Amino acid sequence: MADDKIQNESAPPKKKSTLVTGVIAGVLVAVVFAVGIFIGVKLFGGSSAKPGEKDEHGKAKIEKVTEEEEEEEESSNKVVKVVVPTKEDLIFSPKGSPTSFVVVALGFEVDDEAAKEKVEKELMIPIISDVQRKLRSYTLEQLQSPGLQDSLPLLLKKEIKPYFHEIKLRNVFMTKFLIQ
C-alpha cells in the first residue's frame, strides 16, 4: 500500500513536467520563428530607401531597376510636357476577325514644342503604320483582355521608340479604345 501511495504521488508531477516541457518547447519555437522573420525582413525587404542611398552600416543598397521602370518613374514624377495626339482615330480589324473593328486614339508625350512639330510633320505616318501593324497582330480575344489593354501603351512605346532618335519619348497615352 505504501508503494501505491508513492506511485500515485509521483504520477501527477510527471504530467506537469511533460506539460511544462511542451510549453517551453512551444515558446522556444515561437521565439526562433519571430527572430527568423525579423532577420528576413531586415535582410531582404522592408526598405524604404531610394536607389543609391546607403543603409545604417554605410553599405550601398542594391536595387534592380530596368531602364523602362526608371523612365516610367521619371515621367510619372514630372508634369506632362507636350502631347502630340494622332490627328485621326486608328481603325483596324483584329487578327482573324474581319467583321470586328477596333478604334484607338493615341497621344505621344515629348519634351517641347520643337519635338512636337518634328513628330507631327516627319514621324507621325511611320509611327501610325507601325502602331497599326502591332495592333493588328492581336486577336479579338487578346484585345478584350484587361491585362493587354492596360499594358498596350508600354508595348506601343517599345514598338515606336526607334523613331525617336533625337527626341525623348516620355510616355504613350491611349485616349480611346473601342471594340465594335
Q: How confident is the model at residue 125 (pLDDT cuts 50, 70, 90)?
A: very high
Q: Look at 83 and 2; give whichever has higher pLDDT.
A: 83
Which fold would CATH assign to domain 80-179?
A: Tetrahydropterin Synthase; Chain A (3.30.479)
Domain ranges in the chain are 1-64, 80-179
3-state secondary structure the chain: CHHHHHHHHHHHHHHHHHHHHHHHHHHHHHHHHHHHHHHHHHHHCCCCCCCCCECCCCCECCCCCCHHHHHHHHHHHCCCCEEEECCCCEEECCECCCCCCEEEEEEEEECCHHHHHHHHHHHHHHHHHHHHHHHHCCEHHHHHCHHHHHHHHHHHHHHHHHHCCCCCCCEEEEEEEEEC
pLDDT digits (tens, 9 = 90+) for 32-87: 877 777 776 666 665 444 444 444 555 444 444 455 555 555 555 556 689 999 99
